[in-house]
Structure 1
């Protein structure tokens, strides 16, 4: 298979955040504006540090007085200084490509889109570089995989492909191009089917388990928008788990999981909900809830720029679990052909006896 990806530089380029002051903020001081609007980015003393460090301009001029009065219409720019991002793989395999779609085999540990400490070390950055700067628009992912999840990532190369694939994912995922004639109530077909491999803790007794536990958000330290967990008041979610192999010696179960919905961290949450969290998952425990952790994992790259230190408790982007997007069937967004793509399995997710699916 063809791979691409440039090695990561030691430091990224930093980021510039621009704001146009609204009339409602007229008369606020510089420190009031940033500490109020971006309180999830840094504490008060962190924003004072950034101001004194000449990282903020107002209408193009550096301002170091935190009590500077702001007037409506002013342009504010905060420069987040370059930092050394955590280690991440840089090579990405191409599994399928045509004029409209490119399917990648994302390695575990590589983030899909910029966020948090990972602003440059992402799949999106490598796609932009791969396009050579001459293709507009450049290919973009149309869905996400968790940073610790490996396997098939679909990306669109045109606006039409992007809009249609995004609509397919929004519709959910199920069997492609097959009508279930034996069902009393015929089910509508979907345009995407996603099959994952995962290594769950414990021995799952049933050969097949369907999980329809809703998934919702709760407040959680270090996650600004909240953490997704099993919640009766959450949004509907559906996963079908099929046991492939039970390992009594290691007290683990190798499973295939088909998801019809695509809630964030759905497979991790659903398997933990039934009492079988993924082996090595640092975040989710039995019941689809976060673990209580006393481990201190502090990354000073947050604190150096005045921001919050890395949360002490595990967060969704932490790796360690074994989850792989193994097979995808989808309706091509332009030709309407049924395309099937398979990503090679990591050795730990292969069956002891090689059985052809």
Structure 2
């Protein structure tokens, strides 16, 4: 069912089924004298966008008529580019991988909406997922006349990310003022980590947002409480253009507070609660694997906060039907299978600072303690 605006209870859901194919994409470029004029068409695309496709893939796209120069289709790879030419590459529509589409509303007012994101749904466009995202469902919802959002011209947007395999609370802003405030909350928390000055220590105690996760990890944690301060950086990794985030001594500061909720010696696993005071990408997955307890089912991160398998020298030049690279054989960050849930969020309202809001996302059964399970019976 669709939710009414300003709904706070009971919980409701919204979402539209995904079309079989998305609408494709158009990428625009203008040739500049300084760097691009005089290049051939194939040289321009294969060098500037080498992360999109190998050389043979770009040749296929050109021969397929997917590139225009000043509005005219050009199929000659050696066509010479001149200053001011307008180039457009048309990425043809494709069927995106399966993904859930229903989103549960946990809290909503005129400034923001908090969603319960299911695992398997990407937040923002990227890679193979350009349409099947939380952002697209928010845009479809706003365009319908089911709420005042369409009348107000509001376009809700996520202000932070959750990994595709992570479930739970996702905050979205409905106004520019709320977006600025909420984004600042997340940025401020991260910027304070690593600064031990008294002023920042005091400010840390008064942070505007607190995030608590549930996770199920491999092995038995002996300590009841652990503070992890391992820095997080990047390394080259196949299929991840900007580099894979990993535990790295030269990385940026990160802080996670881990508390054991329940140990299961028979299954050799531990249920934990994690409060993060910084927001580095994949922080919880990296930190827990760093201390020797990767998330149960995590296909990517292994003990030490590093990928399970890695060969930086191997480059796959094969290409898919659309000319782009084949999906990497090795695991990538968007792969699912692990158990991580953004469970609770406490924050100052983005426009009414005196108002403190606590939001809770219902726990998946596998992330409940035995006592919590019994309470629901």
TM-score tier, shorter chain, comes to over 0.9
Deviations 1:1-50 (A, max 9, x none): 21111000111111000111111211111001000100010000000000
Contact map agreement 1:18 1:75 (CA 8 A) in 2: yes
* Unaligned stretches of 5+ residues in structure 1: 175-184, 295-300
Q: 1:150, 1:225 → 2: CA distance? A: 24
Indicate if the aligned counterparts of 1:50 and 1:56 stay in contact, CA closer than 8 A.
yes
Q: Any idea what the Cα deviations from partners look like across 1:281-328, whole Å, max 9, x if unmatched?
A: 00000000000179xxxxxx9601111101111000000000000000
Question: Which of the numbers 333, 347, 350 marks the counterpart of 2:365?
Answer: 347
Tell me: CA distance 1:232–1:2, structure 2 relative to 1, closer, same or farther (3 Å).
same
Cα distance in 2, alignment partners of residues 350 and 11 from structure 1: 37
The answer to whether the Cα contact below 8 Å between 2:229 and 2:253 also exists between their aligned partners in 1 is: yes
The runs of 4+ residues in structure 1 deviating greater than 4 Å are none
SS at match of 2:287: helix
Q: Distance in 2 between matches of 1:141 and 1:203?
A: 35
Shift of the alpha carbon at 1:137?
A: 4.1
CA distance in 1, matches of 2:288, 2:345: 20
Choose which of 113, 125, 150 in structure 1 pairs with 2:167.
Answer: 150
Match of 1:17 in 2: 27
Question: How many matched pairs?
Answer: 340
C-alpha displacement of 1:354: 2.1
Q: CA deviation at 1:278?
A: 0.2
Distance 1:172 1:166 in 2: 10
Q: Contact 2:54–2:319 at 8 Å: present in 1 too?
A: no
130-139 vs 141-150, which moves further: 130-139
The residue that corresponds to 2:139 in the other structure is 128
SS in 2 for 1:86: coil
Q: Distance in 1 between matches of 2:310 and 2:19?
A: 33
CA contact (8 A) 1:105 1:153 kept: yes
TM-fit CA distance, 1:232: 0.4
Unaligned runs of 5+ in 2: 1-10, 145-149, 192-200, 312-317
How many Å separate the matches in 2 of 1:122 and 1:302?
A: 25
State the 1:60 CA deviation: 0.5
Query: 2:52 corresponds to which residue?
Result: 41
Answering whether residue 251 of structure 2 is matched by residue 242 of structure 1, we say: no
2:85 counterpart residue number: 74
- The match for 2:349 among 325, 332, 336 is 332
Contact 1:173 1:259 in 2 (8 A): no
Alignment of 1:60-139 (within 5 A): 60-132=71-143, 134=150, 135-139=152-156
Map of 1:288 onto structure 2: 305
Distance 2:37 2:185 in 1: 44
- Structure 1 length as normaliser, TM-score? 0.93
Secondary structure of 1:270 counterpart: helix
Q: Residue 243 of structure 1 aligns to a residue in which SS?
A: strand
Cα RMSD, aligned residues only = 1.7
- 1:187 Cα offset (Å): 5.2
Question: Which residue in the other structure is 1:304 paired with?
Answer: 321
Counterpart in the other structure of 2:187: 170
Q: Is the 8 A contact 1:173 1:194 kept in 2?
A: no
Structure 1 CA distance for aligned equivalents of residues 207 and 18 of structure 2: 38
The corresponding residue for 2:65 is: 54
> How is 1:205-244 mapped onto 2 (pairs within 5 angstroms)?
205-244=222-261
Question: Are the equivalent residues in 1 in contact too, given 2:46–2:55 (CA < 8 A)?
Answer: yes
Structure 2 length-normalised TM: 0.88
